[in-house]
Amino acid sequence: MAAAFAARYARAFADVVASAKLDAAGLDRQFNDFLGTWDGSKELRDLFINPAVPAAQKVAILDKLNTKLGLQRELRNLIAVLINNDRIGEVHEVAAAWRAEMQERLGIRQAEIVTARQLNEGERAELVAGVGKLAGARIEPTFKLDPGIIGGTVVRIGSTVWDGSVRGRLERLKEALVSG
pLDDT score, position 44: 95
pLDDT score, position 135: 86
**At which of 50, 73, 104 does a domain end?**
104
Task: Give 119's contacts (C-beta < 8 A, 6+ positions apart).
Answer: 127, 143
- CB 121 within 8 Å of CB 114: no
The answer on pLDDT for 73 being more than 70 is yes
Task: Give 59's contacts (C-beta < 8 A, 6+ positions apart).
Answer: 80, 83, 84
Does 174 share its domain with 120? yes
State mean pLDDT over 22-36: 95
State mean pLDDT over 59-88: 96
The answer on pLDDT for 2 being more than 70 is no
Does 124 share its domain with 98? no
Could you tell me the residue range of the domain that residue 155 belongs to?
108-179
- Residue-averaged pLDDT of the chain: 92
The answer on pLDDT for 110 being more than 70 is yes
Q: Work out the percent of the chain whose per-residue pLDDT is above 90.
A: 72
Does 20 share its domain with 51? yes
CATH of the domain at 52: 1.10.520
132-180: pLDDT as tens digits: 998 888 998 999 999 999 988 999 988 888 898 888 888 888 888 898 7
Q: What radius of gyration do the chain's Cα atoms show?
A: 22
State mean pLDDT over 66-90: 96
- Give the distance, in angstroms, between the CA of residue 89 and the centroid of all CA atoms in the same chain: 17
- Give the distance, in angstroms, between the CA of residue 45 and the centroid of all CA atoms in the same chain: 21
pLDDT score, position 1: 47
pLDDT score, position 3: 76
3-state percent breakdown (helix, strand, coil) of the chain, nearest 5? 65, 15, 20
Distance CA(63)–CA(174), nearest Å, equals: 63
- pLDDT-derived band of residue 107, with 50, 70 and 90 as boundaries? confident
- Give the distance, in angstroms, between the CA of residue 51 and the centroid of all CA atoms in the same chain: 28
What string of DSSP letters covers 2-69?
HHHHHHHHHHHHHHHHHHTT--HHHHHHHHHHHHHHHHH-HHHHHHHH-TTS-HHHHHHHHHHHHHHH
Number of domains in the chain: 2
- CB 155 within 8 Å of CB 112: yes
Does 65 share its domain with 11? yes
State mean pLDDT over 14-42: 95
**Residue 106 or 66, more confident:** 66
Q: pTM of the full predicted structure?
A: 0.70
- CB 12 within 8 Å of CB 87: no
